[in-house]
Amino acid sequence: MNIRMKFKKHGCMKFIGHLDIMRYFQKAIRRAEIDIAYSEGFSPHMIMSFAAPLGVGLTSEGEYVDLQVHSCESSKAAIKALNSVMVEGMEVVSFKLLPETVKNAMASVAAADYFVNFREGYAPENWKEKFESFLQKEEMLIVKKTKRSEAEVDLKPMLYKAEIRDEGIFMQTACGSVNNLKPELVMEAFVKDAGIELAPFALEVCRLEVYADLGDETSRKLVPLEELGEDIEP
């Protein structure tokens, strides 16, 4: 059975890196006695893969991991068992059975929603007016650095939506192996364009949701990854 599990990550757990999150879930799955499948060979390991690993320091309302299990009583029972062994800051919110035709989470990711806000006392003066002006620009150019090189790129085609909500900024960006835009890069381009000096660690970033794209070459049809599966009923 192919399972897609959605979880939240908050509090001090935002400082735990992806490799440690993987190890954490391996231990939690064993403690919750989930009937997970293992690979074959001399060094068997749990069959699981994460969608778009989250950066250190970010919180999330919607992270995903795919599992293979031999059996499952029900989604409700699995969620209860897992949350009973979770530490503060981690919570499983859905446990869905996937059709065999659905690609794994890592291969399915196409976009993500984020909410960005300034820590108390760190918001620049008149930032809302400046951000609205920034969104009207035809190009959002910034030098994007990689391990091997750096190049000037236009972020605008990868920024699907952006708007001010209350005292923060909602963004929907491209996410995945082909195009991947982090909200921190958008904010870097914004403060550079606006001539703002932003203090280190001035931003708080929360990922709200991760999407698959069921559209075609002419239009996007974004669907939350969990909606590609169904609850397991007892």
Res 58 pLDDT > 80:
yes
* pLDDT tens-digit readout, 124-183: 999 999 999 999 999 998 887 777 778 888 999 999 999 999 899 999 999 987 888 999
Res 77 pLDDT > 90:
yes
Q: How far apart are CA 90 and CA 177, in angstroms?
A: 26
Q: CA nearest 156: which of 169, 177, 141, 144?
A: 141
Q: How far apart are CA 162 and CA 62, in angstroms?
A: 19
208 in Cβ contact with 106 (< 8 Å): no
Domain ranges in the chain are 2-107, 110-223
Rounded to the nearest angstrom, the gap between the alpha carbon of residue 69 and the centroid of all alpha carbons in its chain is 23
Answer CATH for 110-223 from 2.60.120, 3.30.1360, 3.30.70, 2.60.40: 3.30.70
Same fold, 2-107 and 110-223: yes
Architecture of domain 2-107: 2-Layer Sandwich (3.30)
